[in-house]
Amino acid sequence: MLDVKAYENFEQASKAVLSFLQARLGLSLWMVTRTDGQNWVVLNIEDSFYQIQAGSVFKWTDSFCSRMAQGLGPRIAPDVAQCEAYLQAPIGQQIPIKAYVGVPLLDKHGLLFGTLCAIDPQTQSSSIENELPLVELCARLLMTILESDMQKAEAQRHAERAEQDALKDGLTSLYNRRAWDNLLMKEELRCSQYGYSAAVVVLDLDYLKVVNDKQGHIAGDNLLKSIAQCLQAVVTSKDIVARIGGDEFVVLLVETDDNQAKTLVDRLEQQLSSAKIEASVGYDVRHPTYGIIHAWNHADRKMYAHKMAKRRDTPDSIRRKPHEPDYFL
């Protein structure tokens, strides 16, 4: 019997489980996957036919696994033609699937993390249905290791943040650009390994130069401090907030999907409005295929689009003149 506890981490244990199950049950493709909103992400894979690779992303609702997780189809289907729910799954129109095995990977709260699953282009003997307890046991063991890995990852995250404390902006006490780059790289590794979702928020202050010129640099510094306070008021302890330029701020929202990111941005804009601070904001969610840097670039473009839209939508008759800022009035 496979002893997955002998392996150091979730990735190693997953690969060992997939290799073991493929050798014992057959089937051409075995995967450990993560559900991330509408994305179904392949974390680890053992594939002798389909040429699918780790990191591949499919639409969750197209999959057999989404139907299995809802209880619409069996966990083992030696012949998927006997299951109407699987016949209707769009993924079956994209690649040849005649047999399916799948069990949910549930965290300690009973929430769906992903699946341990297999497919084959040929129907299988009904005897593989007897192997369901073994597959379910492997899934539970993997999740036990994942929970341990998550605890270690969180401790490592705290240690990384402590190491970067020396790289903080003296004015706002936020991380500076160097710390941001370092921490971003480490979070990207975790996202890739565990299928974490994440989002990037970019904020650019409007009229900082006007405030500095008209009211002095102390007023400008106070404005930057107020921005930092607004950002820190809406994030969690896991998130990363940095000032990476004179008037540019960024936030990495860790383990955050699109709905959660939108909610946070709405709260941030309310904070800014209450503080009478004008700023342009953009955000984007990390896609498993492209990573955090891609999301950052998209968020930056959205921020500038927001800034340009505000300028276009403000009539000339009421547009604030460069010498008439209303900050701190």
DSSP string, 94-159: HS--SEEEEEEEE-TTS-EEEEEEEEESS---GGGGGGHHHHHHHHHHHHHHHHHHHHHHHHHHHH
How many separate domains does the chain show? 2
- Same domain, residue pair 257 and 177: yes
- Same domain, residue pair 284 and 241: yes
CATH (domain of 172): 3.30.70.270
User: Is 156 part of a structural domain of the chain?
Assistant: no
User: Which residues form the domain of 198?
Assistant: 167-313
What's the average model confidence in pLDDT over 205-219? 73
- Same domain, residue pair 301 and 173: yes
User: Is 257 part of a structural domain of the chain?
Assistant: yes
What's the average model confidence in pLDDT over 98-125? 96
- Same domain, residue pair 11 and 99: yes
What's the average model confidence in pLDDT over 220-244? 91
User: Is 162 part of a structural domain of the chain?
Assistant: no
The closest of 244, 240, 232 to 256, measured between CA atoms, is 240
What's the average model confidence in pLDDT over 246-273? 94
Q: Are 296 and 249 in contact (CB under 8 A)?
A: no
User: Is 329 part of a structural domain of the chain?
Assistant: no
- Same domain, residue pair 261 and 183: yes
- Same domain, residue pair 66 and 185: no
- Same domain, residue pair 134 and 171: no
Decide which of 99, 118, 151 is a domain's last residue.
151
- Per-residue confidence at 166, pLDDT binned at 50, 70, 90? confident
- Same domain, residue pair 39 and 126: yes
pTM (predicted TM-score): 0.82
Q: What percentage of the chain reaches a pLDDT higher than 90? A: 73
- Same domain, residue pair 208 and 271: yes
- Distances from the Cα of 64 to the Cα of 117, 317, 323, 326, angstroms: 9, 59, 62, 57
